[in-house]
Amino acid sequence: MELRINYLLQQFASGKINQAEKQELLALAEGNASLISDEIVKMIIAEEENADQVIDKKWNPILNKILKVDKPAPAPRKILYNSLKWAAAAVVFIVFSLTTYVTLHKKKEHVFATDVPPGNNKAILTLANGKKISLSDAMNGNIAKEAGFSITKTKDGQLVYNIAESNDIEDARLNTISTPNGGEWQIRLPDGSIVWLNAASSIQYSLNIGAAKQRIVKLDGEAYFEVAKNAAHPFIVETDKQSVEVLGTHFNINSYHDEIVTRTTLLEGSVRVSQGSTKQSEILKPGEQSILSNAGFDVKDVDVDEAIAWKNGYFMFNNEKQESILRKVARWYNVDIEYADPAAKEVMYYGTVSRFEKISKVLTKFEQTGEVRFDIKGSKVIVYKE
């Protein structure tokens, strides 16, 4: 986020900021004033001390022009920092002034005739014998019990497996948890690993996963994993296009059938990602993302906050096409998307939006760019290009 704020402030100062970037900066300014202030301080301190970080020299005349004061002379860090905090605060004030100006002059918000609530905790547990249990409807406490194991639903909705140490459960006994459109769920697997399952996703695993030589789970959709460490029993996530092998780590996999790429993002530890057809593999480091598509296999550095934004309760877009964004919106709000104008698919967005607002709030954010307009008709969202 810090790098993004740095970039947006420079775009704003240079007059190159576009409408979408301006809306993003305004949103960040409303909730991150101190962070924006800190970023300006870091930039000026780095310039004063001839740090390795390359600082855009435009900041000198820009700050002088805005504040009408000379740049502070070098001084002990504490004194310099306090002086710069005042200067940074003045720049933040200007950003807030811009917020006020745009708020007063922007066009009247579109009022939708109907609305759609956000998704929530909903999932179905399918036992090895085929029995299905609605996890959102099940009461807290024991929800399933068979020879050698029981499953408990805690008050915060987690599933906890209790398996007798002496029980020898065959690999063939599989459980599946699936979420519908508009649903998500958190589960603690029998081996102690924790999984957050996004909307329209499913995960399948064996009851003896904790004792198996390889802890294999199968994923369809998107999930965030915090894997329990067990060097003797590697943890493997299989999708239709790849497999991911780990010992103990935090990572996110996005592997929906309606997406043209499969993305694996590593936050902590180390994983090996292997392409299913060619067996080509790459070892990821924290902050890296593997991208598997028809064009091949690639690895790049990314903002991990964007990859797990869904888990933390918001949508985060970084120069992303509206068509891709609205697929995520459709899954979470359980709606169909219809494009009255195909050109609307190509509109690009930066920004962050809460997943727990009604859909009208999310669509209004997009409309503020002035490039698109939406109508809601029942469970259908119609997209127009302005």
Regions of the chain where pLDDT drops below 50: 41, 44-45, 47-59, 62-86, 95-105
What confidence tens digit (pLDDT) does each residue in 327-368 have? 999 999 999 999 999 999 999 988 888 999 999 999 998 998
The answer as to whether 219 is a domain residue is: yes
In the chain, the number of structural domains is 3
Q: Shortest CA distance to 303 belongs to which of 320, 323, 314, 318? A: 318
**Are 239 and 360 members of one domain?**
no
Query: What DSSP state is assigned to residue 344?
Result: G
**Are 193 and 283 members of one domain?**
yes
**Are 142 and 241 members of one domain?**
yes
Residue type, 310: W
Per-residue pLDDT, 128:
87
The answer as to whether 111 is a domain residue is: no
**Are 317 and 291 members of one domain?**
no
**Are 42 and 72 members of one domain?**
yes
**Are 143 and 283 members of one domain?**
yes
DSSP letters spanning 291-338? EEETTEEEEEE--HHHHTTTTTTEEEEEEEEHHHHHHHHHHHHT-EEE
Alpha helices in 70-216 (DSSP H): 77-105
Pair 5, 318: CB distance under 8 Å: no
**Are 128 and 235 members of one domain?**
yes
Per-residue pLDDT, 275:
85
**Are 302 and 320 members of one domain?**
no
Boundary of a domain, candidates 277, 306, 335: 306
User: Measuring CA to CA, how many Å separate 312 from each of 233, 265, 317, 332, 352?
Assistant: 29, 15, 14, 14, 12
CATH number (domain holding residue 347): 3.55.50.30
Per-residue pLDDT, 107:
54
User: Measuring CA to CA, how many Å separate 304 from each of 167, 219, 301, 333?
Assistant: 40, 20, 9, 24
Per-residue pLDDT, 3:
60
Per-residue pLDDT, 13:
62
**Are 300 and 323 members of one domain?**
no
Q: Which domain holds residue 61?
A: 2-105
The answer as to whether 114 is a domain residue is: no
| d(C-alpha 91, C-alpha 38), whole Å | 11
Number of alpha carbons in the 13 Å side-chain half-sphere of residue 246: 27
CATH number (domain holding residue 192): 2.60.120.1440
What confidence tens digit (pLDDT) does each residue in 259-291 have? 999 999 999 999 999 987 777 889 999 999 999
**Are 129 and 199 members of one domain?**
yes
Pair 328, 370: CB distance under 8 Å: no
160 Rama sector, left if φ>0, alpha if ψ -120 to 50, beta otherwise: beta
The answer as to whether 112 is a domain residue is: no
Boundary of a domain, candidates 291, 306, 321: 306
